[in-house]
Structure 1
Amino acid sequence: MPELNDYRIRVASLEDVRPALEMKLEAWRQAYKNFRDEDFFLFHEQQLEAQVAWWERGLASGAQFIIAENTSGEIIGLAGGTPSIDEDQDAGVDIELGMLYILEDHYGSGLGGHLLDVVLGQRPALLWVLEGNDRAIAFYRKHGFEFDGTSEELTGSWRGLTELRMVRRNG
């Protein structure tokens, strides 16, 4: 297992967008292999160019996300937060953890917690997690998040899955 100091965390640049999205797809394959078949992953790989363009526009307009890279410069994790959307105002927090993905070789290394702290600090926040994603649920509970009873049935390529909202009220 990699040691805590075997990576560095920084704000992503435009040059990081493609490799970060490629890493995210690999992290999805690893984390969601029991939730989706190969067609799901192939579909999202085919969307890569559009996603790269969308993320590049976002960075150009001031958005940012955080990456973790190993000593060889390969991206091994990424995370980002966004202001809570109107539909989540009832949660009583103003920031959402929009994404947190690390490669499974780094599970248990402390990297996920480190990325979470960089993005959120100890602030109250919310996130959405797939129902049945027990590893992620345990991780988020360890960091103070609990279910608040809100769920959402997913559509599109995620159809048939349910997301559950978790909220951390006190950091």
Structure 2
Amino acid sequence: MKIRTAGVQDLETVSRIHALSWKTAYRGILPDDFLDQLSYRRWVAPLKDMMEQGLEIRVIEEEEKPFGCITFSAARDQAFAGWGEIVSFHLLLEARGKGYGRLLIQDAMRQLKEKGYSKIYLWVLEKNERARRFYEKNGFTWNGDRLEGEEGGRKVTDLRYVLSFPKTNLS
């Protein structure tokens, strides 16, 4: 198994992972008809635009078959200037429970820390309890921020989860 940086040539694959993940992870949270019609290409153009603005994409694969991806960048929220942000994180259904998610999020956290960020945040759907438990197991906590929106014709609430890296004393 390896984790690698994705390039523009990987955007079709990354977009497909996003769509397949949404179709399983958000079933029961977003309308079925919306999820069923999601295009595998839905995220190609937005991801390309975001990459041009500094978004990084990491893909986890085994025997060259991709099982998940995580995207991150400098915080997009000006109120959190100086923070890193995990923008999206998706695993294929068959990859769940195998430790791939833990490896992928730890890799992104390491990448962000190496870029000099001491704090990072992400948004997670309030009703996505599995993801919330996963983030909490990996050190994230809800900071109380809520973001109301709409997806697939349904009102949704995102919660901001934050993590601060421990300070190290080098003496």
Aligned to 1:148: 143
Shift of 1:60: 5.5
Matched residues in 2 for 1:147 and 1:106: separation? 26
Amino acid at match of 2:129: D
Question: Does the CA contact (< 8 Å) of 1:79 and 1:99 recur in 2?
Answer: yes
Number of positions where the alignment pairs a residue of Structure 1 with one of Structure 2: 160
Stretch deviating more after TM superposition (12-21 or 52-61): 52-61
For 1:104-153, what per-residue CA distance to the aligned partner results, in whole angstroms no more than 9, with x for missing partners? 22222221111112112264211111012111111101111111111011
Cα distance, 1:85–1:58 mapped onto 2, change above 3 Å: closer
Aligned to 1:67: 59
What percentage of aligned pairs have identical amino acids? Answer: 26
Cα distance, 1:88–1:70 mapped onto 2, change above 3 Å: farther
Amino acid at match of 1:118: D
Aligned to 2:22: 28
Question: Does the CA contact (< 8 Å) of 1:69 and 1:76 recur in 2?
Answer: yes
Structure (1/2) with the larger helix percentage:
1
Question: Does the CA contact (< 8 Å) of 2:125 and 2:157 recur in 1?
Answer: yes
SS of residue paired to 1:155: strand
Give the TM-score, by structure 1 length: 0.81
Shift of 1:88: 4.0
Aligned to 1:41: 35
Matched, 1:84 2:84: no
SS of residue paired to 2:152: helix
Question: Does the CA contact (< 8 Å) of 1:8 and 1:68 recur in 2?
Answer: yes
Structure (1/2) with the larger strand percentage:
2
Question: Does the CA contact (< 8 Å) of 1:93 and 1:126 recur in 2?
Answer: no
Segments of structure 2 that go 5 or more residues without pairing to the other structure are 167-171
CA RMSD of aligned residues (A): 2.3
